[in-house]
Structure 1
């Protein structure tokens, strides 16, 4: 067993130094923390010797968990990404918080590749700041970055709005990894029309970040479907959850042959070519009038509407049906509030989801609450809708 130390996530040089020790040299394990915590601040308790990183899940639909990752898992993940990119070791631009796995992996890939990342200013993500930071990248190396959909959408909006510097930056990156949540319909296509080369990624803290790119597992990653649930295996799997053996036992299962799998909690299916399609969260399936409805499928249908690209679908209680779907979206003027419900019902009917999937409420808000990771705060939105508050 060995100590775990807090490191201020905003202090990129300290994060890099501690991750280098932890991931490459089997040093003390790192726990990134937000705010102005002192670097290398030890906390009570120990972790197993092979653990290099403890990172919190985003907690978008569940209470946050502290995931333990070994140096071998982090290196395997970085290696899988490198092989997907044809062995490319370019220079990375860090645009994500390193309190979460996607940001940490930008640093790990930089360490493994022997490059120094460019870092977006701590003041927050803007299209202008992204373009300015990109100018500091080495022109003799391929440029790489990892984004969440809300960030890519801001870049695309700015470029389409005539910002030449943002458009030039988008087209200058050799690859843009896009993860964290499903991209709104049409976003990736719009980015590609601007010259961006975008890859959709799927994974979680428990898999050391994205391990399925554009629907296909990275080298060394296995995918299977058990009772409609996506399960993943490979060297990139986490050791489990810190001080939570019960959750660890529920999330990680071992076959009779010793193969260890992570139960993602996502519903999915495999195509004939082995490609993975995610349908939504298993815990976001509601029973509406005796019919199972995957809220993720409702959300995908609603997001095809103009002005609803970032809509979030949550469950609300219903006296007659038990539970129904409800929609929260940012107010953009594409659909009049009086027409919004009819529009989303038409969208779900058009997707062939059936009467039980029809949303019963639509709330248009000025801004959607987001977690630090950039994902929508679904728990806050569900609480809002259950409370019946509107704007």
Structure 2
């Protein structure tokens, strides 16, 4: 079934008339993708109002999560849009705090289409990410630019479990339409696909595999490379219209520099958002002449590649020693018997910060949590040694990010330490 109705081939941005922000309810699965694609096409071409995608409550999307998105978007507050250029207001992930509404224009959303597609290509995209987050929205935007409806993996938005078989069927369907098949995934999906023969074959059938939403650990890239699968690690944020640095190299027109005072990265270029919804002070602090001031600590290598080291807000002092939560995540996830890992900080009864790590272990690897904890101590020091919790799966938000606020709740309720 075609997802577009009476739409022009490709996108031709034109000035938008000032109009109210329209909420677009997005149910799980292909129905939500079709609904948002239509509204997005009209918003981008100026034939429809600015839109704000909001997931509907479902078995995997809670009332509380939807309420947090609505607070960020300020849809029902009667506030005028900050600019007539706004085409889309999309919420940030909210994985560690309250989401924020990010203002994008048609120009910022489509600025990097040519750089991603390259040489005027019109690829067939497979949609495997929720369309209420920037990764899924980008697939819709680029599908419109290519003039081809995306092939939807049935599980998106929590409609069902993500399985290698369903992904393989989507890629096969895409390849029947075009030989240039592209997809955006998060690392957890890549891990699942590479552990399955059908999933690996499907990845081999894709000409471009963008991986974002979390860092791509070297061990996962090595596994993919050994199987002949080429992954492209992307770096960006909702405020930069998603990934704008591919494998450490900024896309054409994108600039990345290090702020001399904070050591954090500043991303500039045509895809940088207009600001935040109903937060003028925060907008002035985060957006400036040089671009968007991220919370990511990084450096620029001698060859110009961008190296992201961690987040400025994930460094915690434990026993007087600064510990990067992101660095702990990385060491744990690089253990060969750890499928997934996430560390969080909670306050113990003495009002001291305590580091907890949740890990998903490969079958039969009973010593993996203890061995991984020893690796953390050897590499990062004793202060970084976490309390370990083995779980069957990490909890994720509907946008695919790890739900760290829920992990903090789990840690605070006394999961068994290992």
State the TM bucket, normalised to the shorter chain.
0.7 to 0.9
Residues 103-146 of structure 1 deviation map (CA, whole Å, 9 limit, x = unaligned):
01101011112222111124332111111112221444400011
Which residue of structure 2 lines up, in the alignment, with residue 23 of structure 1?
44
Cα contact 2:109–2:271 (8 A) shared by 1: yes
- Aligned partner (choices 32, 42, 55) of residue 53 of structure 2: 32
Counterpart position of 1:189: 222
Is residue 143 from structure 1 mapped to residue 164 from structure 2 by the alignment? Answer: no
Of 364, 369, 388, 1:340 maps to 369
Paired residue for 2:191, among 135, 153, 159?
153
Shift of 1:169: 1.6
Shift of 1:335: 4.1
CA-CA distance at 1:349 after TM superposition = 3.7
Give the secondary structure class of the aligned counterpart of 1:356.
Answer: helix
Cα distance change on mapping 1:167 and 1:336 into 2, 3 Å = closer
Distance 2:166 2:290 in 1: 42
Q: Deviations over 1:310-352 (max 9, x none)?
A: 1111123357894342211124345436x734x234312443x
Ranges in structure 1 where 5+ consecutive residues have no aligned partner: none
Distance in 1 (alpha carbons) for counterparts of 2:350 and 2:34: 57
Partner of 2:292: 262
Aligned to 2:139: 106
The reply on whether 1:354 has 2:381 as its aligned counterpart is yes
CA distance in 2 between partners of 1:319 and 1:356 (Å): 18
What is the distance in 1 between the residues matched to 2:355 and 2:291? Answer: 32
Q: 1:246 aligns with which of 271, 278, 281?
A: 281
| TM-score, reference length from structure 1 | 0.88
Q: Which residue of 2 aligns with 1:278?
A: 308
5 Å-filtered alignment, 1:1-391, equals 1-10=18-27, 11-25=32-46, 27-35=48-56, 44-47=78-81, 48-83=83-118, 86-122=119-155, 123-124=159-160, 125-137=162-174, 138-159=176-197, 163=198, 166-226=199-259, 227-252=262-287, 254=288, 259-317=289-347, 322-336=352-366, 340-341=369-370, 343-351=371-379, 353-359=380-386, 361-390=387-416
Secondary structure in 2 matching 1:106:
helix
Cα separation, 2, equivalents of 1:8 and 1:249? 30
* 2:24 partner SS: strand
SS of the residue 2:111 aligns to: helix
Give, in whole Å, the separation in 1 of the partners of 2:213 and 2:271.
17
The two structures, once aligned, show a CA RMSD in angstroms of 2.3
- Bigger strand share: 1
Stretches of structure 2 lacking an aligned partner (at least 5 in a row): 1-17, 59-74
Structure 1 distance, partners of 2:105, 2:186, is 25
The CA deviation string for residues 245-292 of structure 1, in whole angstroms up to 9 with x for no partner, is 22222322x2xxxx2421211111211111112222211100122222
TM-score, normalised relative to structure 2: 0.82
1:306, 1:334 within 8 Å by CA — same for their partners in 2?
A: no
Distance 1:214 1:87 in 2: 21
Residues 177-198 of structure 1: per-residue CA shift (max 9 Å, x gap): 0000012442222223333231
Instruction: Give secondary structure in 2 for the equivalent of 1:181.
Output: coil
Q: Are the equivalent residues in 1 in contact too, given 2:37–2:140 (CA < 8 A)?
A: yes
The 1:26–1:82 alpha-carbon spacing in structure 2 relative to 1, beyond 3 Å, is farther
Q: Following the alignment from structure 2 to structure 1, what is the Cα–Cα distance between the partners of residues 232 and 255? A: 19
CA displacement 1:193-218 (0-9 Å, x = unmatched)? 33323101011110001011101111
Is the CA contact 1:318–1:324 (under 8 Å) kept in the aligned structure 2? Answer: yes
Q: Offset of 1:220 from its aligned partner?
A: 0.8
